[in-house]
C-alpha cells in the first residue's frame, strides 16, 4: 500500500511539474559552419602524410601514435591519406605535429551538402528568383511541417483574381465592401500579388511558389482599384472574414488610427484569429495603423541582404521583419503572379511592407496547419525570429524564420511524446500490471500525445495514414481539413478517451489502446494548459485553462480504472 501511495505521489508531482512548464525554448536558425575540433578522448584521426610516403613511413607513424592506420582509399595512396582509431585524439595529434612525415592531421570531421533534398524545392520555373522564400526558411519548413492544409487566410485588400498560377489554389467566393463593386475580384493587382505570396500554387511546373500553398484564400475587397478604402469598409471586411471562419487575416494596408478598425481587430483576436499588418512605407520612425496596434503582428520589410528596406517604417509596433524587397538591386523585389491591368496576368516584382506582411501570414498558416493554437503560433514566430534576442525598432523580435519556428513546434511534439509515455508507465506501474502491457501502452500514449513526429525525417511515401501517425490525436482535425475542431471544447476534453475506455477498454486485446489514448490525451491536455498551446473556443483564458486541467485529470482517472481492470484480469489468468 505504501509503495502504491508513493507512486501516486510521484504522478501528482509530475502533473504539477508539467503544469509549471513554460513554452519550450525554440531553436534559432543560424548557419552551421564546420570548424576543426581539437578533439577529446577516443576517436578517429585523419593523417595526410607527405606525398609519396611508403608503407614503411606509415608504419613509423603507427609506432609514433601507438595505433593502426589504413589508407583511406586505394586511389588516395599517391596522396598518402590515411586514417585510424586512436584511444586519445589530442595526444595523437600532439605527437603527429612534430613529425616530418606528416603534412596535416586532424580529428575525423563530418560535413554535409549545402543543398537541401530535391523534394524540398518546387519545380516552379521562376522559383529560383524568389530569394524571399529562401530568406524566411520556407524550403526547410516544407520538409518538416504542413503547408497550411485546412487553414483559411483572409486577404483584406483590393481583391483576388485567379490568375494562371493560382489555378490550383483554393480560393473562396469572398465579398466586396467597396461601393459599386459586387465582385471580390482584383481590379488593381495588389491583393492578388499578396495572395500569391501566401498560397501561390506550388510545385505545378508553372510560375512561382507560395509560403503556404495548401492554405485556402478568402478574398475580401476593401480597397478600390486606386488602392484606397475607408475605415468602415475595412472594419466591415474584417468582421466578415471572422464570420466566414478565417484563421489568419492579412492587412497589407494602413494609415492613421481608426477606433472602428481597432474594435474589429479586437473582436477578431477574441475569436482566436491571427491578424498580421504592414508597418508602413514612410522610411521613418512611426508605424502606421493597424500595424502599430498591440493586437496585430506588425511587420517591417527587409531586402535581399537581410537589412531593413529603405522605405520601411520602423519604431514601436514592429513585431517582426520579413522579406519585402528592395528593387534598387536587380531581382531584389518580391516576385509573384498577378493581374496586369490589360485583362491578363503577368509575373512582376513588387516591394513594400505590403509584400513583407503575407510572408508572415503564410508562415502563420503553415504553423496553424499543424494544429497549434493562435497564441502559440504568435509566440513561435516571434521567439524563433533571427536576432540577438532583444527587441529592435527596425526588426522587432528579429527576422522571420519559418524553419526555426517549425523546429520549435517539433520540440513541443517531442516533449508531449515523452510526457504521454511517462504518464502511461507511472499509471500502469501504480496498478502493478505486467511489463508487456506497460511498454505497449507507453508507446501508444506517446503517439497519442506527441505523434510519431520523427517519421517526418524519413523518406516515406506521402500517405494519409502516415500523416495521422505523425501528429498527436488532438491535432487530427487539421489534417482532415477541419482545423476549427481543434478548438472545440468537447474535442479538447476527456469525452473521446471516455468513450473508448468503455468500449475498447472492455476487451483485453484493445485495452492497451484505450489506456494509452487516455494517458496520451491527458498528457497533451495538461501540456496545452501549461504552455497555452491549446485554446478551447468560447472559454475565457483562465476558464479555458481550468477546463483543460480538469479534463486531463479525468483522463488520468480513466487510465487508473483501465489499469486496474487489466491487473484484475492478469490476476485471474494466474
Say if CB 150 and CB 174 are below 8 A apart.
no
Residue 417 lies in a domain: yes
Same domain, 394 and 516: no
Instruction: Give 261's DSSP letter.
Output: H
Same domain, 392 and 325: yes
Same domain, 328 and 220: yes
Residue 142 lies in a domain: no
* CA gap 568, 105 in Å, rounded: 65
- Report, as residue numbers or ranges, the catalytic residues: 157, 190, 354
Which residues does 391 contact at the CB level (< 8 Å), separation at least 6? 397
Task: Please tell me the predicted confidence (pLDDT) of residue 410.
Answer: 66
Say if CB 548 and CB 521 are below 8 A apart.
no
Residue 384 lies in a domain: yes
Neighbours of 416 (CB within 10 A): 28
Secondary structure (3-state) at 320: strand
Task: Please tell me the predicted confidence (pLDDT) of residue 371.
Answer: 67
Same domain, 395 and 418: no
Which residues does 449 contact at the CB level (< 8 Å), separation at least 6? 416, 417, 419, 420, 421, 423, 472, 519, 520, 521, 523, 524, 527
Same domain, 357 and 426: no
Same domain, 383 and 516: no
Residue 478 lies in a domain: yes
Residue 557 lies in a domain: yes
Same domain, 418 and 379: no
**H helices present in 167-258, as ranges:** 190-199, 231-243
Q: What is the pLDDT of residues 54-84, one digit of tens each?
A: 999 999 999 999 999 988 777 667 778 888 8
Q: What is the pLDDT of residues 359-374, one digit of tens each?
A: 999 999 998 887 677 8
Q: What is the pLDDT of residues 126-155, one digit of tens each?
A: 988 999 988 898 877 775 556 888 899 999
Which residues does 485 contact at the CB level (< 8 Å), separation at least 6? 477, 491
Same domain, 103 and 217: no
Task: Please tell me the predicted confidence (pLDDT) of residue 495.
Answer: 96
Between strands 81-86 and 43-49, the pairing is antiparallel
Same domain, 227 and 308: yes
Out of 400, 434, 459, a domain closes at 400
Task: Please tell me the predicted confidence (pLDDT) of residue 414.
Answer: 85
The CATH number for 251's domain is: 3.40.50.200
The boundaries of the domain holding residue 65 are 43-107
Query: Which portions of the chain are predicted below pLDDT 70?
Result: 1-40, 75-76, 109-121, 143-146, 371, 409-410, 456-457, 459, 462-464, 478-479, 481-484, 541, 574
Same domain, 164 and 292: yes
pTM of the entire predicted model: 0.65
- Compute CA distances 477 → 13, 172, 370, 471, whole Å: 32, 20, 10, 10
Residue 119 lies in a domain: no
The CATH number for 83's domain is: 3.30.70.100
102 Rama sector, left if φ>0, alpha if ψ -120 to 50, beta otherwise: beta
Task: Please tell me the predicted confidence (pLDDT) of residue 409.
Answer: 67
Out of 383, 400, 417, a domain closes at 400
Same domain, 186 and 258: yes
Rg (CA), the chain: 28
Same domain, 160 and 193: yes
Residue 529 lies in a domain: yes
For Cα atoms 160, 166, 169, give the angle at the middle one, nearest 5 degrees: 95
Out of 400, 433, 452, a domain closes at 400
Residue 35 lies in a domain: no
Structurally, the chain folds into a number of domains equal to 3
Say if CB 173 and CB 184 are below 8 A apart.
yes
Task: Please tell me the predicted confidence (pLDDT) of residue 143.
Answer: 58
Question: Which three cell numbers, joined as nine digits, stand for 505?
Answer: 477498454
For Cα atoms 298, 192, 327, give the angle at the middle one, nearest 5 degrees: 65
Amino acid at each position: 500500500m505504501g509503495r502504491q501511495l508513493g507512486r501516486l505521489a510521484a504522478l501528482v508531482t509530475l502533473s504539477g511539474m508539467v503544469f509549471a512548464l513554460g513554452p519550450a525554448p525554440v531553436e534559432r536558425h543560424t548557419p552551421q559552419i564546420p570548424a576543426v575540433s581539437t578533439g577529446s578522448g577516443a576517436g578517429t584521426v585523419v593523417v595526410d602524410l607527405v606525398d609519396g610516403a611508403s608503407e614503411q613511413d606509415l608504419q613509423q607513424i603507427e609506432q609514433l601514435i601507438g595505433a593502426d592506420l589504413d589508407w583511406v582509399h586505394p586511389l588516395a595512396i599517391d596522396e598518402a591519406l590515411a586514417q585510424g582509431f586512436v584511444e586519445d585524439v589530442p595526444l595523437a595529434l600532439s605527437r603527429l605535429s612534430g613529425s616530418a612525415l606528416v603534412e596535416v592531421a586532424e580529428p575525423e570531421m563530418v560535413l554535409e551538402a549545402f543543398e537541401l533534398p530535391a523534394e524540398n524545392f518546387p519545380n516552379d520555373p521562376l522559383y529560383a528568383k524568389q530569394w524571399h522564400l529562401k530568406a524566411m526558411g520556407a524550403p526547410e519548413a516544407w520538409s518538416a511541417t504542413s503547408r497550411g492544409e485546412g487553414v483559411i487566410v483572409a486577404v483584406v485588400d483590393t481583391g483576388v483574381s485567379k490568375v494562371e498560377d493560382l489555378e490550383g489554389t483554393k480560393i473562396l467566393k469572398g465579398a466586396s465592401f467597396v461601393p459599386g463593386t459586387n465582385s471580390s475580384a482584383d481590379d488593381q493587382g495588389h491583393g492578388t500579388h499578396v495572395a500569391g505570396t501566401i498560397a501561390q500554387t506550388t510545385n505545378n511546373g508553372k510560375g512561382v511558389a507560395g509560403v503556404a500553398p495548401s492554405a485556402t484564400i478568402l478574398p475580401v475587397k476593401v480597397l478600390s482599384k486606386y488602392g484606397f478604402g475607408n475605415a468602415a469598409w475595412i472594419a466591415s471586411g474584417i468582421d466578415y472574414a471572422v464570420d466566414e471562419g478565417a484563421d489568419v487575416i492579412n492587412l497589407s494596408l494602413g494609415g492613421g488610427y481608426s477606433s472602428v478598425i481597432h474594435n474589429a481587430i479586437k473582436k477578431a483576436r477574441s475569436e482566436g484569429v491571427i491578424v498580421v499588418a504592414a508597418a508602413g512605407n514612410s522610411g521613418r520612425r512611426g508605424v502606421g495603423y493597424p500595424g502599430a496596434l498591440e493586437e496585430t503582428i506588425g511587420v517591417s520589410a527587409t531586402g535581399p541582404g537581410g537589412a531593413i528596406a529603405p522605405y520601411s517604417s520602423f519604431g514601436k509596433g514592429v513585431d517582426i521583419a520579413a522579406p519585402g524587397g528592395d528593387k534598387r538591386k536587380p531581382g531584389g523585389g518580391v516576385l509573384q503572379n498577378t493581374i496586369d491591368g490589360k485583362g491578363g496576368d503577368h509575373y512582376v516584382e513588387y516591394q513594400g511592407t505590403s509584400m513583407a506582411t503575407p510572408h508572415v501570414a503564410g508562415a502563420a498558416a503553415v504553423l496553424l496547419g499543424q494544429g497549434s493554437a493562435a497564441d502559440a503560433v504568435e509566440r513561435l514566430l516571434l521567439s524563433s525570429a533571427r536576432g540577438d534576442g532583444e527587441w529592435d525598432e527596425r526588426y522587432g523580435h528579429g527576422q522571420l524564420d519559418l524553419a526555426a519556428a517549425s523546429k520549435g513546434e517539433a520540440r513541443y511534439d517531442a516533449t508531449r511524446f515523452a510526457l504521454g509515455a511517462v504518464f502511461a508507465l507511472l499509471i500502469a506501474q501504480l496498478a502493478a500490471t505486467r511489463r508487456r502491457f506497460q511498454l505497449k501502452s507507453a508507446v501508444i500514449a506517446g503517439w497519442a500525445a506527441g505523434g510519431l513526429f520523427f517519421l517526418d525525417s524519413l523518406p516515406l511515401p506521402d500517405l494519409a495514414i502516415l500523416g495521422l501517425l505523425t501528429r498527436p490525436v488532438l491535432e487530427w482535425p487539421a489534417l482532415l481539413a477541419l482545423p476549427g475542431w481543434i478548438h472545440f471544447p468537447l474535442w479538447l476534453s476527456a469525452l473521446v478517451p471516455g468513450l473508448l475506455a468503455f468500449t475498447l477498454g472492455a476487451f483485453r486485446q484493445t485495452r492497451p489502446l484505450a489506456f494509452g489514448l487516455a494517458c496520451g490525451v491527458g498528457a497533451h491536455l495538461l501540456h496545452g494548459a501549461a504552455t497555452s498551446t491549446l485554446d478551447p473556443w468560447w472559454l475565457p483564458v483562465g476558464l479555458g485553462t481550468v477546463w483543460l486541467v480538469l479534463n486531463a485529470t479525468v483522463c488520468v482517472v480513466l487510465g487508473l480504472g483501465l489499469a486496474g481492470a487489466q491487473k484484475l484480469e492478469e490476476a485471474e489468468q494466474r
